Amino acid sequence: MTKRQLMQRIMAHLDRPLLAGMAMLMAVSLLTLYSAGEHSMDRVLAQGANILVALVCMWIVANLPLHYLMRTAVPIYLVGMVLLLGVLTPLGVSSHGAKRWLNIGVATIQPSELMKIGVPLMMAWYFEKHEAALRMKNYFVAALLLLMPVGLIAKQPDLGTALLISASGFYVLFLAGLSWRVMVGMLVAAIASAPVMWKMMHEYQRHRIEMLLDPTQDALGKGYHTIQGMIAVGSGGIFGKGYLNGTQTHLDFLPERTTDFIFAVYSEEFGLVGNLILLAIYFFVIWRGFVITANASTYFTRLMAGSITLTFATYAFVNMGMVSGILPIVGVPLPLVSYGGTSMLTLLLGFGMLMSIQTHKKLVKT
């Protein structure tokens, strides 16, 4: 096999435009991590390792034919549910007042992470099974498949993840044709139940929303993140302060600057122009996701691809909205840019599915 053939073999099931978009975001990640980590290569190298591991997993998923993908839906969902229930047992690990982790002996894992993929996968599988004659009842069952894990995650409490999984599940329902009337009804119900929700929320969650309305109220505590994030973004101006020159970053004002607040570092140093470029890259990736979705060959793959793409867009929006102070701080990383192995892996598994959907359909022409 020549080098060329090998290369072709490797690239056979990878979608080049998508890969190009991802590579750009990963480059932004490594570049910004170097600045955020005070010119230390530690985080850059660790993130490089995260990316490599995730890319290998993505490649494997991309090479799996679609029927394999479908077959994993039920097992992944069931394992995820068992693990989520396991968090409630004494094996669950508490930290910072929330019980989100599970000790499985060799490592501590966060089952809700698995459900970011498991829930839309299961719902898409379910719709595919009942594609022939979809009734109101089916939407109801699908919604139940969504609400069970979301309820467990919200109880941990991890409101941020619960909301994001709800969003990914809602996208499946929406694309599967949930009637407009029901959606409007849900919206009205949500608005009406807001006061009740407010009462049911944990103290710290209420606090975060209050801080959003007036961050100066608790400048030393929870408002600190929001204030410092807004100062970083705002002071970046049109052209930014220049790479490695962000004062907010380098004078230690910014909290969590390699993870959830990495966008503030980027935005301070590259300004509005940099933000425009970043948004353009995100838009490119999202657009490619839509193209793949539109061309998908089966009902299952259409729903899955659509949900992955819309969820990705939501993540990007929520993180940047949180850093720039239009959304409460919910602890969502900036997709493909924030430091972290788990979120990188989850995202690339999703992209692997997109690529599989794009590259296998030619073979299963019906």
Partner 1 sequence: MNKRIELKNHQQEMFNFRLRLFIGMGFALLLLVALLARFFYLQVMRHEYYHTLAEKNRISIMPIVPNRGLILDRNGVVLAHNFSGYTLEITPSKVKDVQATINELSKIVDIEPRDRKRFKKLQAESHDFETLMIRSRLSDEEVARFAAQQYRFPGVEIKARLFRDYPYSDKTAHLLGYIGRINQADQDKLEENDQAANYRGTDYIGKTGLEQYYEDELHGKTGIEQVEVDSAGRAVRILSRTPPVSGNTLILSIDAKLQEIAEQAFGDHRGALVAIDPRNGEVLAFVSKPGFDPSLFVDGIDADSWKDLNESLDHPLNNRVLRGQYPSGSTIKPFMALAGLYYKVRSPTQAISDPGYFTLPGSSHHYRDWKPGGHGMVDMFKSIVVSCDTYYYGLATELGIDRIFSYLSGFGFGKKTGIDLDGETSGLLPSQEWKQKHFKQKWYAGDTVSVGIGQGYSLVTPLQLAMATATLANGGIGYHPHLLMEVKNSSTGQVRKVENPQAFDVKIDPENLDLVKRAMQAVTQPGGTAAQASAGAPYTIAGKTGTAQVVGMKQGEKYDASKLDERHRDHAWFIAFAPVDKPRIALAVLVENGGHGGGTAAPIARRVMDYYLLGKVPEAVKPAEQPASAVPVVD
138 near partner 1 (CB under 8 A): no
Report, in Å, the least distance between residue 262 CB and partner 1.
15
293 near partner 1 (CB under 8 A): yes
103, with CB counted inside 10 A (0-12, 13-18, 19+), is: middle
Instruction: Tokens 């072709």: give the residue.
Output: 8
Longest dimension (CA), the chain: 66
Q: Would you say 8 or 217 has its CB closer to partner 1? A: 217
Tokens of 62: 């991309």
Under a CB-based contact definition with an 8 Å cutoff, are residues 295 and 116 in contact?
A: no
301 near partner 1 (CB under 8 A): no
Bridge partners of 93? Answer: 101
Q: Would you say 195 or 203 has its CB closer to partner 1? A: 203
Q: Would you say 113 or 218 has its CB closer to partner 1? A: 218
Count CB atoms within 10 A of the CB of residue 192: 9
CA distances to 29, 128, 347 from 290, rounded to whole Å, are 24, 19, 16
From 33, 117, 175, 329, residue interacting with partner 1 (rule: CB under 8 A): 175
Torsion of CA 315, 185, 299, 143, to 10 degrees: 80
Report, in Å, the least distance between residue 162 CB and partner 1.
20
Residues 242-281 binding partner 1 (CB under 8 A) are 247-248, 251-253, 267-268, 271-272, 275-276, 279
Q: Would you say 161 or 301 has its CB closer to partner 1? A: 301
From 7, 38, 197, 198, residue interacting with partner 1 (rule: CB under 8 A): 38
From 111, 306, 340, 350, residue interacting with partner 1 (rule: CB under 8 A): 306
Tokens of 322: 């949180």
Q: Would you say 243 or 317 has its CB closer to partner 1? A: 317
Report, in Å, the least distance between residue 264 CB and partner 1.
11
Give the CA count within 13 Å in the CB-facing half-sphere of 292: 31
Q: Would you say 59 or 290 has its CB closer to partner 1? A: 290
From 62, 145, 211, 320, residue interacting with partner 1 (rule: CB under 8 A): 320
From 59, 130, 174, 284, residue interacting with partner 1 (rule: CB under 8 A): 174
Report, in Å, the least distance between residue 252 CB and partner 1.
8
CA 118 to CA 109: how far, in whole Å? 15
119 near partner 1 (CB under 8 A): no
Report, in Å, the least distance between residue 45 CB and partner 1.
15
Give every CB contact of residue 182 below 8 A, 6+ residues apart in sequence. 139
CA distances to 7, 135, 192, 199, 364 from 195, rounded to whole Å, are 57, 32, 7, 7, 51
341 near partner 1 (CB under 8 A): no
Report whether the peptide linkage leading into residue 157 is cis, meaning its omega lies within 30 degrees of zero.
yes
First to last CA, the chain: 32
What region does 336 belong to: left with phi over 0, alpha with psi -120 to 50, or beta?
left
Task: Kindly state the DSSP code that residue 242 receives in the 8-state scheme.
Answer: -
Instruction: Tokens 């944990």: give the residue.
Output: 202
The residue count for binding partner 1 (CB under 8 A) is 59
120 near partner 1 (CB under 8 A): no
Backbone angles phi and psi of 108, in degrees to 5? -105, 125
Report, in Å, the least distance between residue 172 CB and partner 1.
11
Report, in Å, the least distance between residue 298 CB and partner 1.
12
Interface contacts to partner 1, rule CB under 8 A: 38, 40, 95-97, 171, 174-175, 177, 203-204, 218-222, 224, 230-238, 241, 247-248, 251-253, 267-268, 271-272, 275-276, 279, 282-283, 286-287, 290, 293-294, 302, 306, 309-310, 313-314, 316-317, 320-321, 324-326
